[in-house]
Amino acid sequence: MTTQTTPPKSPDIPAAGAPAGLIGIPERIARALATGGGVLAVVSTFLAWTWTDEFPGDLTFYGYPGGLQVLVLIGGALTALFGLATYGVKGLGWLTPAGGDAALKLTSLATFATAWYTVLAISFRLGGVVNLEPGGYVVAVVTLAGVLGALALPFERPEPDPIDPEASRGERFRHDAAHGWHVVKASFAAGTPRPLRRLPASLEILVIVGILAVCLLVFTYGIGTEYDELFIGFLITAGFCFAALHKAGLIAHATRITARHQNITICGAFVAAACFPFTQTDDQYATIGVYILIFATVALGLNIVVGLAGLLDLGYVAFLGVGAYAAALVSGSPSSPFDVHFPFWAAVLVGALASLVFGVLIGAPTLRLRGDYLAIVTLGFGEIFRIAANNLDGTSGPDLTNGSNGVSSVPDLEILGFDLGVHHVIGGVTIGRFANYFFLMLLITAVVVLVFRRSGDSRIGRAWVAIREDETAALAMGIHGFRVKLIAFAVGATLAGLAGTVQAHVTYTVTPEQYLFAGAIPPNSAFLLAAVVLGGMGTIGGPLIGAALLFLIPNKLQFLGNYQLFAFGLALVLLMRFRPEGLVPNRRRQLEFHEEAAAPDVLSKTGA
């Protein structure tokens, strides 16, 4: 007679004897501490944390959260919700399709880190903890208790009892039912959340609208942080909360919904981006926005070369420079040796064709190389371009680029009588110069996304992927490797030159120092490659998100001075350690990096 074992009610509540966390606190008490800490953290944000307004952020008011208190409020609210979801509260099960313990820990850490960072910043800036009001002490105590409770939760689940390989099908079924929570946990580790009921198409579209609205809100808040402490707190909260949503399975579930409505998602993303200038009152942050779009467009072009074709190009920023120089020379600049002033469409064609020609000329002799050798040659090309542009000053060489002074005083664009260099009023909102260029770059980004999507789904796109995965096998299957790689190189160079034509008019001046291999501020070849890898190779959203982060974060961390690159590099190391497949991973690459975790899920689906 087979004895059945009653499984636990939830994957989040293990059976008796389960291993504890870092701290020896009973699990029920630990869960209550974590959840209660989140609730009390929310309450503490309505208290004053300091008595003086010398610390920015309006932390002296009762009943009105401001500045860093808002971030603690968000972290505490998420902690409370995840804690209640792990208790099985009706109506909150959708929050944790992949389990809530890990998400509860991460949101508790986010709340604790942001709160204690704020308390310490107030103390150091104002000269001691005596400058704290009761709310500051309360939030420090409750978030500490909450994070201790979260860390006391189990980090692993007990292994299921071994099953006899000769057991009958019925015995196997009863065994899996008794220990089904462990099988589910293994599939969670593989990134596969518990299946949720599929919503009607109209509701899924509303979910997509909500996701895009949240993304716009987060980006606008991050780019508009007015002081250094607030931006650091924003990074802490956003980083931990994103990881928590991923561990809870909400990111994977949202990815499935957007994948089912890909066209609507892409169109909605561009509509949300077009709303960004209307959220700004001046050009201060629209300036950063237009540079982010230039950087993102070039990164998406590099994604064709690196992400689809698998060609490591370390000199890609040179194609951006070729397009910028070509457009600047024919756009009526007084420092140009050519006395011509082409209209915008002609300047765009000149910049894109110049980059195309250079891409073919450089790719033809070098693409017969592979791997590290190709990377070294492309790195050399990038340096040759910069040095050549520096020497074409009429002294060391022909007078073409004006040497280190560059091509200056590039006039603003005028399209169909619409001058992008002056302010315009649209719907009662004043749109400044950089906002005008933001809309132009948004259109160019849409063109680049369309090219990437269509080429990736085409026959040539499948050939690129085959070359990337195994060039020898692709050649054996009849793919013309050199021609396919040259097309990828040429398309990527053309897209970079297209973005370069707008960059020349946005910056007014094109100089060789703008196109280094590495530097503190992008765009440069190292940051472009990092944007593709960290964002997610072979995807559309990955390089766009990666480029936005890699441009925004160094720009906001300039107050760190000499420690800026150290802090930034440390953040990249941590990101690659915990999410090597990128923020928006390609499914194939995600499985490559998590083969061991995915194995149980694959075996369970195949019945092995």
The set of residues, in sequence order, having a beta carbon less than 8 Å from that of 252 and lying 6+ positions away, is 97, 98, 191, 192, 193, 246
Specify the fold of 261-595: ABC transporter involved in vitamin B12 uptake, BtuC (1.10.3470)
The confidence score (pLDDT) of residue 600 equals 44
The confidence score (pLDDT) of residue 22 equals 60
Helix axes 27-44, 134-151, angle to 10 degrees: 150
Cα–Cα distance measured from residue 243 to residue 481, given in angstroms and rounded to the nearest whole number: 39
The confidence score (pLDDT) of residue 414 equals 80
227-231, 416-420, 475-479: least confidently modelled range: 416-420
The confidence score (pLDDT) of residue 155 equals 62
The set of residues, in sequence order, having a beta carbon less than 8 Å from that of 453 and lying 6+ positions away, is 540
pTM for the model stands at 0.79
The confidence score (pLDDT) of residue 47 equals 92
Confidence of residue 20 (pLDDT cuts 50, 70, 90): low
Identify the three-state secondary structure at position 589. Answer: helix
Q: Which of 69, 68, 95, 67 is nearest to 81 (CA)?
A: 95
Question: Which whole number is the average pLDDT over 158-174?
Answer: 47
Question: Which whole number is the average pLDDT over 422-435?
Answer: 75
pLDDT at 110 over 90: yes
Give pLDDT tens digits for 65-86: 988 999 999 999 999 999 998 8
The confidence score (pLDDT) of residue 139 equals 94
What is the DSSP-derived secondary structure letter of residue 306? I
Phi first, then psi, for residue 271 (nearest 5°) are -65, -45
Show the tokens assigned to 512.
Answer: 């060789």
The confidence score (pLDDT) of residue 194 equals 53
Confidence of residue 596 (pLDDT cuts 50, 70, 90): very low
Exposure string (b/e) for 340-353, b if CB count within 10 Å is 16 or more? eebebeebbbbbbe
pLDDT at 386 over 70: yes
pLDDT at 376 over 50: yes
Task: Name the CA radius of gyration of the chain, rounded.
Answer: 27
108-117, 169-178, 449-458, 505-514: least confidently modelled range: 169-178
Assess contact for 245 and 81: CB atoms under 8 A: no
Identify the three-state secondary structure at position 45. Answer: coil
Show the tokens assigned to 87.
Answer: 């208790």
Query: Which has more confidence, 2 or 243?
Result: 243
pLDDT at 366 over 90: no
Exposure of 146 in the CB half-sphere (CA atoms within 13 A): 36
The set of residues, in sequence order, having a beta carbon less than 8 Å from that of 407 and lying 6+ positions away, is 325, 328, 329, 333, 335, 336, 401, 504, 509, 510
Cα–Cα distance measured from residue 246 to residue 398, given in angstroms and rounded to the nearest whole number: 56
pLDDT at 60 over 60: yes
Question: Which whole number is the average pLDDT over 178-201?
Answer: 52
Cα–Cα distance measured from residue 99 to residue 486, given in angstroms and rounded to the nearest whole number: 47
pLDDT at 237 over 90: yes
Query: Which has more confidence, 225 or 109?
Result: 109
Q: What is the mean pLDDT of the chain?
A: 79
Give pLDDT tens digits for 441-471: 899 888 888 888 888 788 888 888 888 888 7
The confidence score (pLDDT) of residue 516 equals 79
Cα–Cα distance measured from residue 563 to residue 73, given in angstroms and rounded to the nearest whole number: 30
Show the tokens assigned to 484.
Answer: 């396919």
Give pLDDT tens digits for 88-104: 777 787 888 877 788 99
The confidence score (pLDDT) of residue 107 equals 93
Assess contact for 311 and 488: CB atoms under 8 A: yes
Give pLDDT tens digits for 508-560: 888 888 887 766 566 777 788 888 888 888 788 888 888 888 888 877 877 77
Cα–Cα distance measured from residue 350 to residue 342, given in angstroms and rounded to the nearest whole number: 9
Q: Judging by beta carbons within 10 Å of its beta carbon (0-12, 13-18, 19+), is residue 126 exposed, middle or buried?
A: middle
Which sign, positive or negative, has the C-alpha torsion 325, 331, 334, 337? positive
CA-based diameter of the chain, in Å? 96
pLDDT at 317 over 50: yes
Residues of the chain with CATH 1.10.3470: 261-595
Which sign, positive or negative, has the C-alpha torsion 452, 453, 456, 458? negative
Rounded-to-5 percentages of helix, strand, coil across the chain: 65, 5, 30
Q: Which of 606, 603, 601 is nearest to 249 (CA)?
A: 601
pLDDT at 353 over 60: yes
Assess contact for 79 and 174: CB atoms under 8 A: no
The confidence score (pLDDT) of residue 153 equals 85
How many C-beta atoms lie closer than 10 Å to residue 497's C-beta?
32
Indicate the pairing of strand 424-426 with strand 429-431.
antiparallel
Assess contact for 303 and 532: CB atoms under 8 A: yes
pLDDT at 225 over 50: yes
Q: Which of 270, 275, 267 is nearest to 296 (CA)?
A: 270
Most confident of 66-75, 176-185, 253-262, 594-603: 66-75
